[in-house]
Amino acid sequence: MTEYRTLGRTGVKVSPLALGTMMFGPRGNPDHEDSIRIIHHALDSGINFVDTADVYSAGESETIVGKALAGGRRDDVVLATKFHGSLGDDPNHQGNSRRWIIREVENSLRRLGTDRIDLYQVHRPEPETDFDETLGALSDLVHQGKIRYIGTSTFEPSAIVEGQWLAERRGRERVVAEQPPYSLLARGIEREVLPVVQRYGLGVLSWSPLAGGWLSGRYRTGAGQPASSRSDRQAARFDISAPENAAKLAAADALAQLADEAGLTLVQLALAFVLEHPAVTSAIIGPRTFEQLESQLGADKVRLSQDVLDRIDEIVPPGTNLSARDTGYTPPSLTEPALRRRSARRSSY
C-alpha cells in the first residue's frame, strides 16, 4: 500500500513516486493511446501526482494528460504543470512575465481539460524579470481559483529564499515546493538547496532521479554507447568519451554492483536513494514505455541499509555533481561575458 507524503506544509498528500510526462508526445512516445495506458496504470498502482509542462512536446504532453484524466479521474490527481520555456518565435511567448503567465495558464488549462491546476511551477529562473512580478501574477491566479499552489523548478538557494521573503514582505502567495535535479550522480543540491527548503518547509519534487538514463542499467563499461532520443538531442551529456561522463560511467558500474549485492536493480537503488533524503517529498519518474514504468513501480517500498548508504557516499561523495551539466541551470552571470567583463559591456553598445 502506498504511504503518501505531505507536500511541504500544504496538507496535500502525494505519492512518493510522481509520474513525469516529458516523454509523452513526439519527443518520446508519440502514441497517445499507449501513453494514456501508461498513465492509467500508474494511477491504478497508487501514484496520485502527475507532473507535466507546457513545453513538453510543445503542449502535446499536456493534451495527453488531459485525455488520460478525463472521465472522472481528474479529482483524484494532484496535477502539476510548468511555464517559462519558449513556445514559438515571438519573444514574448516565453518567460516569467505577468503578460505571459496570465496568457499561458489559460492555454495549459485548455490542453489539460481542467478548470484548475494544483501546482503551477516556474520552470526556470529568469533574472531579468522581477520575481515579485512573477509571484504577483501567480498570486492573482491563486485568488481566482485557477491554480491552487505555486512551485519553482531548479532555483538556486538565494532565489528560493527571495521567494519566501517576497511572500512575507509583499503579501504574495508563498512558494510551497521546489523541483530540483537529484540523483546518485548529481548530489549537488545536498549542499544548500535541500537544507534551505527544509528550513522554510517547502516540498521537494526531484527530477531526473535516474540521471537522464545513466542509472537505468543501460550504461555499463564495455557496452558501448546506448542509442536514445535523449542522447541524440543532448549529445554532450551522453558522450562516454568525455571525462565527466567517463566518471559517471565508472560510478554507474560501481553502483550497479552495489545494487546487485543488495538484491536490488540499479533503478530501485537509484529511486530509493533519492526518497531516503528527509527533504524529498517525491521522485519524478519519466517512463516512455509500459515496461519502463513497471521497472520503477514499487521502488518507494525499498529501504536502504546504513551500510548501503555509506557505500554510496564512498562512490559519489555527498554534495557532488559528477558533471556540471547536471545542475539543470546555469545563471546568466556565468554564461554571458557582458555580465562579468566591463570590456564586453562597452563593446556591446
Which residues are known to be catalytic? 56
In whole angstroms, give the CA distance from residue 97 to residue 94.
8
Residue 280, Cβ density class (10 Å: 0-12 exposed, 13-18 middle, ≥19 buried): buried
Q: Which helix (H) or strand (E) holds 81?
A: strand 78-83
Beta strand 78-83 with 49-51: parallel, antiparallel or unpaired?
parallel
In whole angstroms, give the CA distance from residue 200 to residue 164.
8
Q: Which helix (H) or strand (E) holds 315?
A: helix 306-315
Query: Which one, of 83, 120, 299, 280, lies nearest residue 189 by Cα?
Result: 280
141-148: long-range contacts at Cβ-Cβ below 8 A with a sequence spacing of 24 or more?
A: 141/101, 141/102, 141/105, 142/173, 145/115, 145/116, 146/105, 146/109, 146/115, 146/116, 146/117, 147/105, 147/116, 147/117, 147/118, 147/119, 147/120, 148/116, 148/117, 148/118, 148/119
Helices (H) and strands (E) in the chain, counts: 14, 10
Residues 6+ apart with CB under 8 A from 229: 27, 28
